[in-house]
Amino acid sequence: MGERQARRRVTDLLVNLGLAGVSMLVALAVGEAAVRLFSPIGPALLVTDEGVGKHFVPGFAGRIFVDEAGRSVSVRFNSAGFRGAEWPRQKPADGLRVAALGDSMTAAIDTDEEKTFVRRVEAALAADLRGRPVEVMNMGVSSSSTGAELATWRRVAATYRPDVVLLAFFTGNDFGDNCSRLTNAPRLYFELDERGSLVAGPEAPPTPAVTRWLDLHSRLYVWQKLAFRQLRGSSRSVSGGIEPGQRIFAVDDGPDAEYAWSLTEALVRQVRDEVEATGARFGLVVIPCAEQVDDGLWADLERRGREAGHRLERQTPSRRIAAIAERSRIPFLDLTTAFGEAARVAGSTAASAKDLYLLGRFHLSDEGNRVAADAIHRFLVSGTSPLVPCAEGVVSAAPPHLAH
């Protein structure tokens, strides 16, 4: 009798577990269907890579809904995991090849490909060079950092033998993302040893195969990840203070921030040294965050910084990055001036970023990409020592706000 009861209990337990499993599968299926029916959310497109930190899903092509833009955008990633068409390994004869390294501001997957500043610069250079083949390779990756861009140069960009390399530095988060003392997200970090030399930190573990499959095929999985991320962001907003990357505005902010500045300078200089060692030319482009451009956003950030015990100055990023470039003799362009001029609305005394950034504060809008492209094009082809020499008379002299 006892043995029969024991078997029955085991059978009942297995049946209950089976019913629970079926119920869970049904619930997940209903949730998946609901997200697909009522939400425009698309697949997750980032993949963690041991070599370069992160890149996009190689070979993906399709339309994704972008919350910031309020519409769907057609995107494609080549076999290397970067935005755009395939790049031939061999550069076309008499061609110009430019590699653009950066984060999501450069990748610009919120914007149609032909309207990104990378494609606009490519079109402008093609017009300047009068029929010569021109390639501007978009090697921007969301959630990247200067350290990850150094790794991308080593593992990917250098193998394509570009003539010019542009390193885009976004003041909104690159400062914090570079330094493990300020952030601890799963990304590729570098550190400075006791002699001030760069050393690689621990590599982020690669994305598990099951996670990659869920990112591409389960909208419910992607939705819950975004929901938790937004919840964490809302919690930080409610609690006040500033983001780690916003400490780029701080004055006399302590040893960790100074270490982050030293690390950023070492990373930029290392990219420059390795690029120039191949015979290519190197330039640094600084992309401002919306707080540098919009008076209202800056007033709010300054207030939050003061409440958190930080003294913030709006010109700190431009001043300190200019000093880095000048010490290292790096040609550089700070887009803050061009964006500031574009943000001045006729008849208003306050500058507004609403036309330059999506939702007025996030990624660059179509207009923001246009302003960036115009300034970057002039930076490349103008001045006494242009990075891209053009035919005489094709381009006018550099405007005074471009720094070399």
CB atoms under 10 Å from CB of 332, counted, come to 22
pLDDT score for 52: 84
Angle at 90 between CA 89 and CA 95, to 5 degrees: 125
| Sign of the alpha-carbon dihedral angle for 297, 298, 302, 308 | positive
Q: What pLDDT does 224 receive?
A: 52
Alpha helix ranges (H) inside 240-395? 255-277, 290-293, 295-307, 316-328, 336-343, 366-381
H/E run at residue 64 = strand 61-66
How many C-beta neighbours within 10 Å does residue 275 have? 23
CATH 3.40.50.1110 fits 46-381, yes or no: yes
The string of pLDDT tens digits covering residues 237-282 is: 433 478 999 999 999 889 999 999 999 999 999 999 999 999 999 9
Neighbours of 214 (CB within 10 A): 17
State the pLDDT at residue 286.
98
Positions of the chain with pLDDT lower than 50, given as ranges: 28, 30-32, 34-40, 220-223, 225, 230, 232-240, 391-404
> What does the pLDDT read at residue 235?
42
What residue segments make up the domains of the chain, in order of their start? 1-38, 46-381
Averaged confidence pLDDT in the chain: 84
